[in-house]
Structure formats: structure tokens, C-alpha cells
Structure 1
Amino acid sequence: MNDIVGKVFAGRYRVLNLIDKGGMSYVYKGWDITTGTFMAIKILTSEHASNKDFVERFNYEALAASKMKHPNIVALYDVGLEGNLRYLCMELVEGVTLKDIIRERGFLDPIKACEISLRILSALKHAHSKGIVHRDIKPQNILVDGNGNIKVSDFGIARIADVPTLTHTDMAVGTVQYVSPEQAQGKKAENTSDIYSTGVVLYEMLTGKVPFEGETPIAVAMQHINAEPTPINALKPDVPQEIIDIVNVAMEKDPKNRYQTAYDMALDVQDVIKGGKPVNAQNILERLKTSVKEEPPVAIPDPIPIPSTPPKKRRSSSRFQKNKRRIYGVVAILTVVLAAVVFWGIKLINNLSRTVYSPDLIGLNIMEAVSVAKDMGLNTRVNYINHNVVENNIIINQIPMPQSKMYLGDSIVINVSKGRELFVTPDITGISLDAARKKLAETGFAMSVVEKVVSSEIEEDFIVSQSPEAGSLVNYGELIQVNVSGGSVVVPQLIGMGQEEASKILTERNLQSGDVNFLDVVDQTQNNKVISQQPDVGAMVVKNARVNITIGILVSDYITSATFMLPKMEEAFLIKVTLKTFDGEETTQYVAMHSPTTTDDTTLTIPVKSKESGAMWCNMYINDVLISTVEVSLQ
């Protein structure tokens, strides 16, 4: 998918470089042209774009992410379709995964591991409150940015309450090393399943090892169901027992014996970080320890009486009874088979008569979409979410996808746009540029410096004004334009000075030499002197402003011009141009300090004069080093 780099989706999202590749999608670094911010653009691979299961899972991730806004969950900005490419615009987390950190360090400090777990549990508490079970909590899905912030990612196989699952049965999902016992058995995943997986992640952070390993995924899954992990203190004796208790409760085989909410587990983790006891875990362990399971009494059968005299054998009657039983058995079997055939035949006919294929509702108005679904005998479940592109009351996406097999009475989940979400702009006037950028980033806004303005009251590089103003209602990610104080400097008098002296004065006053123009003069006193300047003397300008000057050149008999290419220079530099006459004498034609050049194609054209005519050579020196020589013809 290299041909995607450089493309712009939806007229605003530019695809930059590839940063990751997963089983079903590519992740690129992107640039939002509208807001001027970087993002991650997740694109479904072309080989999976025609597979309904993968498309549905991709849309499922978007649906789950759209329901959540939390500092420890990767944020979703937008969802779209560009041609045949399905993409998600998400928060860019530049860093590493928790798995990378464990591989690098071997194991983590117990308190550090608890702090990371606390962030994961905070994210899960929010997801669970929205009816979302992640089902694939693992270190590979925990992102850590350069500042140590924790982000839970990849809700591609999450289960959402009241939303149809990706398959008709709740098959075992998740990564086998971290999957809960009930998921390993193909049972329904609940909130407590995420808690079990979090316990496994904490176990791995503390020991550097996963609790169960095997040659095959099935072997590992069976251990989650039946086996006990190696005790943590057998691997790392220095891990406090309080933390071990938290892991043990989180990893209980029976979901009823685990923490029942992420909040309960988070309270214990937080208490241990502060030096306290995990009260919830200890209560659960004490209850499990004291509970006695009563075994049902074993029934002792009565002794079988032994007759005093053996019964007489009746061969013919016995044979008849055996044949009779065989006939009854065959008849019974045939009856069951016939009943099953009739039952499944009727069921198949009913299913065929009830089968419909989901309509394409994406892009329709909500009223129209509900009407189309109703006409086909389908119900609708509607979620309203903000969207930066799709207009109000228009369908963004649906589950299942169009042309998916359904039955009469099933429900289609549709996400309906309620337009852009409006946010209040913060006040950033009077603070530094760096502080303003940080404040805006925390609230989801971007900043653009329009210009530096003269200010004697506000410190240099501090915000003077902003647009939109503080308190305005704007779209999420809106670009805030600012004017910044450039300080204030009074432009000095330069007229009458030589070019070199004028450049020196400007540097001393925190100003820069701007454009230098030349004008023919007949007054000998104006020769090689500044005869005009812009801005004028006494004007108030920002620091490092450019001042343009015009130098008078006494009209002579022979005059021409010389053009030089200036090299790229990161700092201001001295330029001197000389004219070499026939007798080898060099006369200075131009001397000036020049501002830094950002490219290597900047040109400099200066007038050249001489009392002699004909072809001569002009030499250009930069910082007293000969750089270039051009031939000129004076006529």
C-alpha cells in the first residue's frame, strides 16, 4: 500500500509514512491540513476490504471508540471511506508498547507496575460504563508515549452491550496468553474477563513471564481453565504480598470470585501504592478460605439378594424377548431420526423464508433509513455521535454491513451524526508560546502564529491576542490563531551612513538588514551613502525586524551590474564584491552584512562602475573568503 503515501482523504487528512502493520490494517502517520495536527490513520488492508467479517470488525472498532472519551484510551477523531479504502483517524501515540518495555527491562518495579495497572483499570472502568468489554487486554495493546502516558488501544474485538456480536456464537476471542478461562471455553466475555486479563498483564510486569506457556494455543488455553500459575514470590521474592493478593484475586478461575468491577481492583491498587492494604482482595480471599463446600452424601446401595436356587433357563422365551427388544430399539431409533429430519426440515424452511440481507443505510437521512429497514422487516438501534465531516442526522456507518445475512426481526445498529461537537476555547492570552501550545494540546486545539506585533507592555514571545476569543464555542480541534509579542525597538537614523556602518548600527539595536537597493545620484556627498530607509527613523517595530535601505551611487561613465548566487547560510554573513581592472587592481563595489539564507538559490545583484570600459571580473567574498567570480562588460 505504498501508493497511499501522499494522498489526502476527505480533503483534509494527508497520509504520511507507514508506522505499523497489523493482521488486518496498516497504520500511517497523518497530518490534518485543517487543524495542523498529526494523527494516526488506520486503513483496512485491500485484501481484507472485501471480507465482510474483517470490514465488520473494523467498523466495530470505530463504533466502540466513538462511545468513549478518556485520557487513557486512544481517541477516535473521524471515520471515513476514500474510494474503496476504509480508514479511522485516531490519536497519534508516539512511543512504544508495554510489551516492548517488558522485553527490554525483563520485569518492572512493583510500584511502577501498579501505577500502569491503575491507568489500564481507569480506561476499563470508563469502557465498562459504556457497556463495552475489550476482550483483548494485553501488553501489545497498551501504548506508552514519550511522557509515560498510558493509552489502551485496539477495540477491534470488543463486545458492546445490546449490539450484535461479529458471529452468531460468542466464540473464544482474545490472545491466548491473556485470555480468561470463560473465553477459553467459548463462553460470553464479561467485565470480569477484562479484569482477569489485567491480572495476567500485572503478573507479567512483576515477573517478566506470562503465567502459562505451552507448545500450542490449546495447551495454553487449557492451563487457563485448569492449572494454577507459578507463584509470583517463587519467581520474584521481593514482590510484596499485598500486590500478589491483588493478582491472585484478579486471576481467579471463577468470575464470581474475582473483582466484580475495575473500580474495586483500582481501589486496592491505589491503596497498595500509598502503602496500605488491598482490603477488597483480602476480603475475597478470606471468604474463599473459610467457605466449606459440602459434598452430597454417598448413597450405599442395598445388597442384591441371592436366590437359594438358580432359575430354570427358558431359552426359547429368552430369545424371543431379545428379538423383541431389538425390534423396539430399531423402531425407536428410526422414529427419532424421522422426527429430527422433520424438525430440521421445517426449521430450514422457516429460516429460508425469514432470511433477508441488510440494506445499505450509510449516507441516508435517519428517517429514511429507519423506514427502509422497517420495510424489510428489520428493527434499528440508533446511536447519535458527533462527527466532524458527516452532516447532522445522516447515517455514518452500520452493523452489520450492507448485504449481510440477517433474519426478520433482527436489529441493525446505525451510528447517526449529530454534527460537530462544540467546545469552549480556553484563554491563552498573556502566557508564553510554549505554555499556550501545551494548554491547547491538553484541550484538543491547535495553534497557528499569525504574526509578531509591537508591544512594549507584554513580554516577547507571549500571546497578545487570539482568534477565536476565549470562551467561544468552536469545533473540536479548531485552529486558534494568535498574535505574539515581538517586543519593541525604535528604528535608528541611518541616512548619511555608509552601508557597513548602517548594518552595524542595526545589529546593535536588535534589528536586521533588509533589502539593499541602489540609486544613481549626482551629488558627490551621497555617493555610497544611505539616502533612504524603510521603516522611517523613529518608527516602532518588533525585535529583529528587517530595515530596508537605499544606497546612492554616483553616476560614472561606465556602469553595469553583476549577479551572484548566494549559498545557503544558517547565520548572518559579510559579503564584499570587488571589481578587478585590467591592471589587476581590485576596487570594492559592495560591502554589507547579509541575513541568513534558507535556500541555495538566492541571488544578489549589485551595480558595478568604473572609469574604464570593457570586459572585467567581479569577485564575491563571503566572510573574506573568495566564493565566486563573474565576468562583466562595462560600456
Structure 2
Amino acid sequence: MNDRHGGDGVTVLRERYRLEGLLGRGGMGAVWRATDTVLEREVAVKELLLPAGTSAGQRAMLVERALREGRAAARVRHPNAIRVHDVFAEGGRPWIVMELLSGHGLDTEIRRQGALPPVRVAEIGRGVLEALCAAHSHGVVHRDVKPGNVFCCDDGRIVLTDFGIAAMDDEEKITRTGYPIGTPGYIAPERLRGEPAEPPSDLFALGVLLYAALAGKAPFSRKEPMAALGAVLTDTPPPPPGPPRLADLVMGLLAADPARRTTAERAREALRDPELTAPSAPPPADDPRWWRPARAALVAVGVLAVVSVPLRGCTGPDAEVVPAVAPRTGTPEPPAEPTFLQPGAPTFLPTLPPTLVPRVPLPSISPCMLEDDC
């Protein structure tokens, strides 16, 4: 096989699709740039590779399943889902003809930039979720939502690709590798426990994808595939960095129990909310954090000033005003008259006898009030 020929040296499929060049190759197949000679347009053709060593009966079963699920994917008509034009078997292998996209993969964007801006992450989340909702409404579960299967088009579209991977049978995959179809670290915990793939498992993978976009690294990423599978079952990652509401959405999608996992409807509502990417609210401008202990201290000083003023009556000579706290050396003496007297007030105002003046204990300020740690 070279970059212009399929697995058996094929260059033209069904006397219609001419392979022009290899776009990429993975464990599940190869993708070719091709020309539809009937409609005279460029397309992408995916060649699904079947497991080596399978019997003729198993191969026939897998090909039929691939064709059936390829036809199901072709029913998904949405701008955020890859458009499937044709599906057929040739040379004993299934082939899927799709629209040819121009742009780059989300995995490439994360690898180059690391953590992405929250607004960009929310945009990606909206696109992938809309594609999943469209697929789920037609009974199609993707089973392998990950950055490598999200394409960022030059025209701004976010497109979920590679629905053809769902054609490979879960049970057959478990027999050969020991875990369900998908990418370790993105497979939902219920699927690892042997439950069938359902829409909530795609939502779990979406949560992992959004976490990877926010943090620059997937939450269950490990060096070994089995370690990643175990991490999904046993680990609870910390919230990803970013706006609190967006981080809460991601953690809701990562709920281990599918019954408690954020639903597609709630996720869609959250991703459409313009406040989703708003940063956490700062303290009110008129009550900053440093002001709270200072305000408490000022209140205490005010009380101290009030209790230091003697009670006065209506007649009699002035009593000496004695400050409750001795002034420091070098500070001016307290005024002879209280500052609250108004012009024209009587010069001699009697006071109660000293024995009748109540003794009020001086207030103290707790150190924790000054540190805002009470």
C-alpha cells in the first residue's frame, strides 16, 4: 500500500471514487483524499481496517455491521456533524465516503497552544454537543468522542468526525483487547463495567474533551492504556482551571454515575449562557476585603469615644473632661470643651457627681478581627 493506493493497490472504488492521496492513518483505518468522478467534487474516503486473523464469517459480520452503522451515520444531517455521502464494501473491507474538510484537528490545536481560552472551549463544546444531539436523535452513539475526532474548519465550523468507528462491534473489541471500543481515558466508567454504549457515555467523553481543552491535558491521561482505564474507574480529578460555571459544567459531565451526569439539555442550556465564561465575581467595590477588619476597628474606636464623654445635666459648673486613654507624649492635650458643643450653648453645664458616672469597660479588639479570620 502506498499513498495513492488502497490496501490491495486500489486506485478507483466502485468505478467512481478515485484515490488521490493519503490524508492520515490510524489503528482503525486510513483516510484518503479522493475525487468523486460522477459529481466532480473532492471527498474524503475512509478505509476501515478489519482485525487480522479473523475468520471469513467474522469478517463478513463486521463488514455488514460497518455498512449498517455507516448508513445510520449518513442520516445525521447537521452542520456540526461530518456529512456521510456513501458507504459500501469493496475488496472485503468497508469504505465510507464523507465530505472533505479544510482546517485542523482539535488535538493539533491543544498540542500547539496548550490550555485554550474559555470562550474558545465553550464554542467547541457547543459544536460537539449539537452534533451529538443530532446523532442521538437518530439512534447513533459515537463511542469515540475525543479531540482527534473534532475538526476545526477554516470557515469556523466545529465538526465531529469519524462516526464510522462505531461500526466495529463492542463485544469483538473486548475479546481482542480487553476493553470496549474507544480511547482509554475517554471511555465512560459504565462502559468499562460492561454496560452498553448509550448517549450519556458520549456526554462523559465530551466532559473529558472540554477538560483537556481547558487544562491542556486530559484528566485521566496516563502513560499506559490500562492505567488510563483504571483512572476513569477510581480517580476523581480536581476541577479544571477556568471560569467557575464552565468548570462546574465539565465536572457535571464527568459524573461517574450516568444517572447523576449532566444531561444534554442542561449542558446545551449552560453552553448557550453568555455568563458561562464570566470570571468569578470580585468583592464589592464599596466593601473590599481589607475594609472589613478596618471597619470593625473604627466602630470600636467610636464606642470608645462615646463612653469617654461624661454625662451632663442642665446646671452647675463644668466638670473636668478626663480622657479614657492617656494621650501619648508629644500629642496635644484634649480640648477644654467637648467638640460637640454648638455656638451659643451655656458656658457652665453641670455634670453628675463622679460617683454617679457609670464605669463602662473599655472595648477590646480581637486580633482575628484585624486579620479577617474570626
2:37 maps to a residue whose letter is I
Please identify, of 68-77 and 168-177, the stretch whose mean Cα deviation from structure 2 is larger. 168-177
Query: Are positions 1:240 and 2:248 aligned together?
Result: no
Match in the other structure for 2:48: 44
Q: 1:140 to 1:60 in 2, by over 3 A?
A: farther
Query: Are positions 1:12 and 2:9 aligned together?
Result: no
CA contact (8 A) 1:40 1:90 kept: yes
CA contact (8 A) 1:30 1:38 kept: yes
Match in the other structure for 2:366: none
Match in the other structure for 2:29: 25
Query: Are positions 1:259 and 2:267 aligned together?
Result: no
> Normalising by the residue count of structure 1, what TM-score does the alignment of the two structures yield?
0.39
For 1:119 and 1:111, locate their aligned partners in 2 and report how far apart those are by CA, in whole Å.
13
For 2:166 and 2:275, locate their aligned partners in 1 and report how far apart those are by CA, in whole Å.
30
More strand by share: 1
Corresponding pairs, count: 268
Offset at 1:36?
Answer: 1.6
For 1:274 and 1:256, locate their aligned partners in 2 and report how far apart those are by CA, in whole Å.
24
For 1:13 and 1:240, locate their aligned partners in 2 and report how far apart those are by CA, in whole Å.
47
Offset at 1:169?
Answer: 8.4
Query: Are positions 1:74 and 2:79 aligned together?
Result: no
1:99 maps to a residue whose letter is D
Offset at 1:167?
Answer: 4.7
1:155 aligned residue (155, 163, 175): 163
For 1:20 and 1:93, locate their aligned partners in 2 and report how far apart those are by CA, in whole Å.
13
1:108 maps to a residue whose letter is L
Match in the other structure for 1:102: 110
Match in the other structure for 2:211: 203
Offset at 1:197?
Answer: 0.9
Match in the other structure for 2:364: none
Offset at 1:94?
Answer: 2.4
Offset at 1:228?
Answer: 1.0
1:265 maps to a residue whose letter is A
CA contact (8 A) 1:111 1:273 kept: no
CA offset digits 1:28-66 (Å, max 9, x no partner): 111112222100111234875966265355335413312
Match in the other structure for 2:186: 178
Q: 1:213 to 1:43 in 2, by over 3 A?
A: closer
Match in the other structure for 2:271: 269
> Which entry has the higher C-alpha Rg, 1 or 2?
1
Match in the other structure for 2:337: none
For 1:33 and 1:255, locate their aligned partners in 2 and report how far apart those are by CA, in whole Å.
46
CA contact (8 A) 2:28 2:165 kept: no
Secondary structure of the equivalent of 1:177? coil
1:141 maps to a residue whose letter is N
Secondary structure of the equivalent of 2:45? strand
1:140 aligned residue (125, 128, 148): 148
CA contact (8 A) 2:22 2:33 kept: yes
Match in the other structure for 2:238: 230
For 2:79 and 2:63, locate their aligned partners in 1 and report how far apart those are by CA, in whole Å.
27
CA contact (8 A) 2:170 2:180 kept: no
2:24 maps to a residue whose letter is D
CA contact (8 A) 1:66 1:76 kept: yes
Secondary structure of the equivalent of 1:211? coil
Secondary structure of the equivalent of 1:256? coil
2:145 maps to a residue whose letter is I
CA contact (8 A) 1:172 1:187 kept: no
Offset at 1:68?
Answer: 1.2
Please identify, of 65-74 and 47-56, the stretch whose mean Cα deviation from structure 2 is larger. 47-56
2:101 aligned residue (82, 93, 101): 93
CA contact (8 A) 1:56 1:166 kept: no
CA offset digits 1:83-139 (Å, max 9, x no partner): 545422111112221111000001110011001100000001111111122121111
1:146 maps to a residue whose letter is D
CA contact (8 A) 2:149 2:160 kept: yes
Please tell me the root mean square deviation across aligned C-alpha atoms, in Å.
2.9
CA contact (8 A) 1:98 1:142 kept: yes
Secondary structure of the equivalent of 2:259? helix
For 1:126 and 1:25, locate their aligned partners in 2 and report how far apart those are by CA, in whole Å.
25
Q: 1:115 to 1:188 in 2, by over 3 A?
A: same
Offset at 1:251?
Answer: 0.7
Offset at 1:76?
Answer: 1.0
1:122 aligned residue (116, 121, 130): 130
Percent identity over the alignment? 34
1:39 maps to a residue whose letter is V
Q: Which runs of 5+ in 2 are unaligned?
A: 280-374
For 2:132 and 2:11, locate their aligned partners in 1 and report how far apart those are by CA, in whole Å.
35
Matches within 5 A, 1:562-581: none
